[in-house]
Chains A and B, each alone.
Chain A
Amino acid sequence: MPNLPDFASLPANDIAAIILICGGVFFFFTATLGLLRFPDLYTRMHATGKGDTLAVLLILSGAICHHGLNLNSGKLLLIAVFIFIANPTGTHALGRAAYRCGLRPWSRRTTAPGQKEPESGRTPAAGPGEEEQA
């Protein structure tokens, strides 16, 4: 990034915006890492449902710090509040739908990843290997 301005010469609200936006991008990165690497649906949902919400809140707070207070920052606050309510709601709806469809949560001993609920209590150790072995 060669053409960034000097960090100390920026005004205070831009420094706060840079710090908040970098924090939000860090949480986006960790949420994407969890989405790629976790072993089954519920753990991936755990990663993205919380990480994305926090990242959106941080980045929009940084945008409000950069922009100052007027009508547009009110709209940004509206987006932040809406995401704070809607993103966990959507994640909860998807998780409930998956659980009612019979997708068992991942466990190291009993359930192979991505397998339907078995007839008896225990399943064979080697399920259909459509997942990478995380």
Chain B
Amino acid sequence: MKSFFLNIDIFLCLLIFCCLYRALRGPTVFDRMIAVGAIGTKTLIILVLIGFIFGRVDMFIDISIVYALLNFLGTLAAAKYFEGKGEF
């Protein structure tokens, strides 16, 4: 199962690089924001699976919870900021 989780992690890293293309090149700032949000979601899954690989699930799940909270708060704060700014 460890090699299966490792393969899934490598594939998710490739998907993160695909999302990074949209985050760097996206025409509006909201495109960059949804790309960064998608990268954060994939990173959360990668953290959980790395916990299974290393056998330290208890520690990595806590890091993953904090990552989910920070990702959500960052998205909300950026949405409020750019809505008040009124341009894209």
Kindly identify, within residues 66 to 86 of chain A, every residue whose CB is under 8 Å from any CB belonging to chain B.
Answer: 66-67, 71-72, 75-76, 78-79, 82-83, 86
Chain A residues with CB below 8 A from B31, complex form: 41, 44
Chain B residues with CB below 8 A from A5, complex form: 1
Chain A binding site: helix, strand, loop or mixed by DSSP?
helix
Verify B52–A66 contact, CB threshold 8 A: yes
Chain A residues with CB below 8 A from B8, complex form: 21, 25
Given A94-B79, A114-B27, A131-B27, residue A28 in contact with residue B15 (CB < 8 A): yes
The chain A residue sitting closest to B47, CB to CB, is A79
Interface size class of A (residues with CB under 8 A): 35 or more
Verify A86–B22 contact, CB threshold 8 A: no
Chain A 22-39: CB-based contact to B (< 8 A → 1; otherwise 0): 001100110110011000
Verify B19–A45 contact, CB threshold 8 A: no
Kindly identify, within residues 1 to 55 of chain A, every residue whose CB is under 8 Å from any CB belonging to chain B.
Answer: 1, 3-5, 10, 14, 17-18, 21, 24-25, 28-29, 31-32, 35-36, 41, 44-45, 48-49, 52, 55
Verify B41–A83 contact, CB threshold 8 A: yes
Verify A29–B15 contact, CB threshold 8 A: yes
Verify A90–B72 contact, CB threshold 8 A: yes
Partner of B80, one of A86, A93, A131: A93
Chain A residues with CB below 8 A from B57, complex form: 67, 72
The chain B residue sitting closest to A100, CB to CB, is B83
Verify B48–A63 contact, CB threshold 8 A: yes
The chain A residue sitting closest to B45, CB to CB, is A59
Chain B residues with CB below 8 A from A90, complex form: 37, 71-72, 75-76, 79
Q: Verify if B18 is at the interface (C-beta below 8 Å from A).
A: yes
Verify B34–A97 contact, CB threshold 8 A: no
Known: A36-B18, A75-B62, A97-B82. 4 other contacts (CB 8 A): A44-B31, A79-B61, A87-B72, A94-B37
Query: Would you give 15 A-B contacts (Cβ < 8 Å), ordered by A?
Result: A1-B4, A3-B3, A18-B4, A24-B45, A25-B11, A41-B28, A48-B34, A59-B45, A76-B61, A83-B44, A86-B72, A91-B34, A94-B37, A97-B83, A131-B27
